[in-house]
Amino acid sequence: MSDDLSTDQLAALTEGLRDLLGPDGWLDPTDAPQLTVDYRGFYSGVPVLITRPDTVDGVRDVVVACAAAGVAVVTQGGRTSLSGGSVPTDYRPSVLLSTSRLNRITSVDPARFTITVEAGCTIEQVQQAAAAVDRQLGMDWGARGTATVGGAISTNAGGLNVLRYGPTRDSVLGLEAVLADGEVFDGMRALRKDNTGYDLKHLFIGGEGTLGVVNRAILKLFPRQDHHRTLFAALADLDHVNDLYARACALDHGGLTAFELVPESGLVGAVEVLGVVRPLETQAEWYLLARFSGSSPVDDTALTFLSAAVEAGLLLDAVVADTAAQEENLWLLRDELPPETLFDAKGAKFDAAVPIDRVAEFQRRTEVIAHDLCGPETVVFSFGHLGDGNLHMYVLKSLERGSRLEPDLIVEATRAIDRLVWEMGGTVSAEHGVGQDLLDRVAGQKSTVELDMMRRVKEALDPDNLFNPDRGAHSALSRKEGIG
């Protein structure tokens, strides 16, 4: 694919696409500048045209025309991903393919627990359609009102319900995608079992838009879980989390729907800044925020778990939310923990996961690295999805409002802590994909063999590097040298 397209060639492409798609099917980038910048404002790029097809044929038209012209296609859903995958780059002419008009719920089948949707439907839209037939979608996270099914599939998004329903991958029964040569991969099968060779839909799940455009999907639904008990507990020691998790799972594995870590400094910040009510008088360095859910009451489960854990000395104190207001207070605390929100503090940031039995070791070893590299007053602020071993971890200069870790220390700390993650058998991206953000960091984590397998898949399905060029894990191979 050539990077040196003439102005005339690009004008011919955009004119042709406008004619094909009709007046509602495209936007001039100058009329929608917000679509050219990523959620965090870190990455931006101006496409030659923003296209908005509303049918599979329209998607095919865009792909085929771009392939013929040698112009890249960057697919965009709700633009909420956090690693720079959904915006065009400036160094390569590209067309943005927005799925905003592929937003129809095609059918809901409560008896078979499935829903068929177009890729541009938001997660909230699908949740509401499921609730209307007394069913529940497994997928859920803070960006539900904007994030789309296509984006969730392409980033294999996790979120708040991973313990119970798994990441997005576990909710996808079938999907349809347009390939680089314009062929349509029809994997719209709602079968729960199908052992007939490679399960090709998985190439697109977590594929970050690098292998095709996902048009439609069949998602699993679940019985509604209307009974919840959320508890907040002071940990006697961070080392106990593995034992606590095993106890909670053994008691009610499917019923444990959240198992989150909260630091004391985060609790203090949330009380001061957000007016969160302190749930416990007892102070500890770390707290557990957990929830049991079910189709029938789960009060006994929560109380049995807590009393046994306190008796075993794993918890110092605990409380169960008794009212909707108390429950809301606990989830407000959890949702607003990022230090950017609480303290306007910025530093080195990690979305890492390690095996849950090594979470405490990971926190301690990170503190040692951070103190050695950045000074003894440095804070390692961690919170998040403890049950998945997934910590949202920040190395901060301090917890003072507006604190900033120096850029060179961010680079050094990131490099050293990434190495620790690799050594501990973890991942530098538990949830947010690779995008443009993590190419070097993924290159260090994955073996040459693994990266080369990804490269070969990409070359087989998209030999001209049409889709989302220069992002996604397969692009990391060229960066492997020297990182090791």
Ligand X SMILES: Cc1cc2nc3c(=O)[nH]c(=O)nc-3n(C[C@H](O)[C@H](O)[C@H](O)COP(=O)(O)OP(=O)(O)OC[C@H]3O[C@@H](n4cnc5c(N)ncnc54)[C@H](O)[C@@H]3O)c2cc1C
Residues that bind ligand X (CB under 6 A): 39, 74-82, 85-86, 99, 119, 141-143, 147-148, 150-152, 154-155, 157-159, 208-209, 213-214, 431-432, 468
Where b means 16+ CB within 10 Å and e means fewer, 61-73 reads bbbebbbebbbbb
* CB closer to ligand X, 118 vs 418: 118
Q: DSSP secondary structure string, 323-360?
A: SHHHHHHHHHHHHT-SHHHHH--B-EEEEEE--GGGHH
Minimum CB separation of residue 239 from ligand X in Å reads: 26
Q: Is residue 203 within 8 Å of 456, Cβ to Cβ?
A: no
Q: At what angle do helices 359-374 and 407-423 cross, to 10 degrees?
A: 150
| Of residues 82 and 314, the one with the C-beta less far from ligand X | 82
User: 251 φ, ψ to 5°?
Assistant: -70, -45
C-alpha torsion angle, residues 331, 347, 353, 252 (rounded to 10): -10
Cβ closest to ligand X, residue 147 vs residue 369: 147
Least distance to ligand X, CB of residue 143, Å: 4
Give me the least distance between CB of 40 and ligand X, in Å please. 9
If the CB atoms of residues 80 and 230 are measured against ligand X, the closer one turns out to be 80
The nearer residue to ligand X, 75 or 116, going by C-beta atoms, is 75
What are the tokens at 4? 């040196």
> Would you say the C-alpha torsion 189, 194, 199, 204 has a positive or negative sign?
positive
Q: How far is the CB of 404 from ligand X (least distance, A)?
A: 22
- Of 341, 353, 408, 335, residue with least CA distance to 375: 408
CB closer to ligand X out of 73 and 369: 73
The nearest distance, CB 308 to ligand X, in angstroms, is 30
Q: Are 469 and 75 in contact (CB under 8 A)?
A: no
Min CB(99)–ligand X separation in Å: 5
Nearer to ligand X, 72 or 370 (CB): 72
Judged by beta carbon, residue 178 or residue 369, the one nearer ligand X is 178
Give least dist CB 150 to ligand X, A.
Answer: 2
Q: Does residue 27 contact residue 88 with C-beta atoms inside 8 Å?
A: no
Q: Residue 378 and residue 393: Cα distance in Å, rounded?
A: 13
Comparison of 205 and 302: residue with beta carbon closer to ligand X: 205
Q: In angstroms, what is the minimal distance from the CB of 338 to ligand X? A: 9
In angstroms, what CA-CA distances link 386 with 271, 289, 321, 331, 346? Answer: 22, 10, 20, 15, 22
Smallest distance from ligand X to CB 302, Å: 23
Tokens found for residue 164:
């119970």
| Distances in whole angstroms, Cα of residue 105 to Cα of each of 115, 117, 173, 185, 199 | 8, 4, 16, 20, 24
What DSSP designation does 103 have? -
Instruction: Name 217's bridge partners.
Output: 117, 175
- 81 vs 382, which CB is nearer to ligand X? 81
Q: Work out the number of other CB atoms within 10 angstroms of the CB of residue 293.
A: 23
In this complex, which beta carbon is closest to ligand X, that of residue 370 or of residue 472? Answer: 472
Q: Give residue for tokens 């609480």.
A: 342
List of E strands, 71-152: 72-76, 94-98, 105-109, 114-118, 135-137
CB of 406 to ligand X, least distance (A): 27
Nearest to 52 by CA among 85, 77, 16: 77
Of 208 and 317, nearer to ligand X (C-beta) is 208
The minimum distance between CB 162 and ligand X, in angstroms, equals 8
Residue in the shown chain whose Cβ atom is closest to ligand X: 151
Cα R_g (the chain), whole angstroms = 23
Contact 62, 48 (CB under 8 A): no
**Shortest gap between Cβ of 38 and ligand X (angstroms)?**
8
